Structure 1
Amino acid sequence: MDDVDRVLEQTIDALLGQRRPGASICPSEAARAVDPDGWRDLMPAARSAAGRLAAAGAVEVTQSGAVVDVATARGPVRVRRPR
């Protein structure tokens, strides 16, 4: 894991910490916070960071409100604290 991966994980955690309990974020919010100009290039890494955090039990990745595996999910996903 490189520095960008670690920063993305920390950013996801920090963004969730700023939200009300039960709220979610889009991985793009973390990518934009890390690199406002090149965030689109960070999207695969941001989704991977969310997947690693989910595997560790720190977050849940959802799609249409249902928990999904970010590695196989197609389309937009959200990240939230586990319920």
Structure 2
Amino acid sequence: MSAEEAAILALIDTSHKGRTIDPTQVARAVYQGDQPDGWRRCLPAVRQAAIHLARTGQISIYRKGKPIDPNGFKGVYRLGKPVAMPDIQGAEPDADDGER
């Protein structure tokens, strides 16, 4: 497990009940240098770690308060406890799937 993944899981675990975390918190937690804005260089690694954890179901990635598909999102996001992802295909259930 990478340092970014460990930091994500630790910060989510210690966040208030139901609260999400900002990826910049993770970048600041793992940054080892002494440059004031050096943590920004960690953001791509944090994003990749978040995607990996979301794909394995350990966390969820949120945008505008709603869980999103980790396989293709853009923009501002937050990280939180996992939730069941809705069917992203939007497929209708088969007529055969109903109760009989």
* TM norm. shorter chain > 0.5: yes
Structure 2 segments unaligned to the other structure (5+ residues): 84-100
Distance 1:74 1:21 in 2: 26
Aligned length: 79
4+ residue segments displaced more than 6 Å: none
TM-score for both structures, normalised by structure 2: 0.71
Structure 1 segments unaligned to the other structure (5+ residues): none
Q: Give 1 or 2: higher helix fraction.
A: 1
| Aligned-residue CA RMSD (Å) | 1.6
Whether contact under 8 Å (1:31, 1:42) holds in the other structure is yes
For CA contacts below 8 A with separation 6 or more, give which structure has more relative contact order: 1
Mean Cα deviation higher: 71-80 or 45-54: 71-80
**Counterpart position of 2:90:** none
Mean Cα deviation higher: 12-21 or 34-43: 34-43
Q: Percent identity?
A: 34
Highest CA radius of gyration, 1 or 2?
A: 2
* Superposed CA offset, 1:22-70 (max 9, x none): 1100111101111164211111110110111101101000100122234
Whether contact under 8 Å (2:23, 2:46) holds in the other structure is yes
Deviation of 1:73 after TM superposition, in Å, equals: 1.7
